[in-house]
Structure 1
Amino acid sequence: MTLFIDGDAFPNLLKPIVLRSIERLALPTKVIANKKINIGRSSHIEYIIVDQGADEADHRIVDLCQKDDLVITADIPLADRIISKEGHAIDHRGELYSIENIKQYLAMRNLMESIRESGEMTGGPKAFGPKDAHAFANQFNAFLAKNC
């Protein structure tokens, strides 16, 4: 299994959590973004910088991801693409996307986008904090314990 990290807006609070697991499990990891993102120093991490563009990092992740790989991303359409390749995806708040729930998340995301585009003001997600990092750590570590 390879771990992929969608570097777009990757929360700083998660970096030490993820780095500890990468080191503990010698987990091959690719951090992909259109700018330099530093998770930490590890011989198990490869940093890949892609061209500027809205979905360049997403396209590269999908191209490289294989069955049973894990992607950390808050991008629901990317998670959907990963699930369709029989990969796994988890968001920054610890939500593990699956074949059973990804279409529901995608539909909700598309609905909210449509509402925003119509001019309706909607609040964004709440600020990321320690409780979110804790929820992520629990789900991430449970996934790794089961799959590594």
Structure 2
Amino acid sequence: MTTIYVDADACPVKAEAERVALRHKVPMVLVCNGGLRAPETPLVRVVYVAEGLDAADRWIAEAAGPGDIVVTADIPLAADCVALGATVLKPDGEELTERNIGNVLAARNLMTELRSADPLGTGGGGKPFSKADRARFSQALDRVLTRRR
């Protein structure tokens, strides 16, 4: 059975994921360090992990497997989950697969190097998260769950 795992600490699409999960009657697990209140539905649960670097990522990587869906913006976690056979969606709706995860991981590593080489911190941040990004995510999750049926 498919389960949706959400790397929930900084995820901007928790509500959208929950709406789609409930519509498809698919269980969802929000994994975080704390600060989230459990939704009042038996299909959605919250798992609180210990404080610490990548604790939620490690928990998700141990729990997810073939047939599951992982929602994360963390590219190394996404790569681990793709290797395990899970479907990975970024919050903007982009699906990460065996075909594209290598390029996405390489680009992420390159950008990390470039940012660290900017001692004055003049590099700009990313673009703001938009309503269109939320809509693309909801459509992508709905499409993946429909494909599973």
Q: Is residue 112 from structure 1 mapped to residue 105 from structure 2 by the alignment?
A: no
Partner of 1:23: 22
Determine the C-alpha separation between the residues in 2 that align with 1:50 and 1:68. Answer: 23
Partner of 2:144: 143
Given that residues 16 and 39 in structure 1 are in contact (C-alpha distance below 8 angstroms), is that contact kept between their aligned partners in structure 2? no
Letter in 2 for 1:90: L
Letter in 2 for 1:108: A
Determine the C-alpha separation between the residues in 2 that align with 1:140 and 1:127. Answer: 21
Q: CA deviation at 1:39?
A: 7.0
Partner of 1:125: 126
Letter in 2 for 1:44: L
CA deviations 1:54-98 (Å, max 9, x no partner) are: 100000000111112100001011000000001110000000000
Q: CA deviation at 1:134?
A: 1.1
Given that residues 15 and 39 in structure 1 are in contact (C-alpha distance below 8 angstroms), is that contact kept between their aligned partners in structure 2? no
Report the 3-state secondary structure (helix = DSSP H, G, I; strand = E; otherwise coil) of the residue aligned with 1:135.
helix
CA deviations 1:4-48 (Å, max 9, x no partner) are: 00012111xx33322222222221111101113247321011210
Letter in 1 for 2:71: I
TM-score normalised by length of structure 1: 0.92
Determine the C-alpha separation between the residues in 2 that align with 1:25 and 1:81. Answer: 26
In the alignment, structure 1 segments of 5+ residues that lack a partner are none
Partner of 1:94: 93
Partner of 2:36: 37
Letter in 2 for 1:147: R
Report the 3-state secondary structure (helix = DSSP H, G, I; strand = E; otherwise coil) of the residue aligned with 1:43.
coil
Report the 3-state secondary structure (helix = DSSP H, G, I; strand = E; otherwise coil) of the residue aligned with 2:29.
strand
Letter in 2 for 1:72: V
* Higher mean C-alpha deviation, range 42-51 or range 116-125: 116-125
Determine the C-alpha separation between the residues in 2 that align with 1:90 and 1:37. Answer: 21
Determine the C-alpha separation between the residues in 1 that align with 2:8 and 2:143. Answer: 22
Q: CA RMSD in A?
A: 1.5
Partner of 1:69: 68
Given that residues 18 and 44 in structure 2 are in contact (C-alpha distance below 8 angstroms), is that contact kept between their aligned partners in structure 1? no
In the alignment, structure 2 segments of 5+ residues that lack a partner are none
Letter in 2 for 1:98: T
Percent identity, please. 29
CA deviations 1:107-143 (Å, max 9, x no partner) are: 0000000011112643222111101111111111111
Determine the C-alpha separation between the residues in 1 that align with 2:62 and 2:47. Answer: 13
Determine the C-alpha separation between the residues in 1 that align with 2:105 and 2:82. Answer: 12
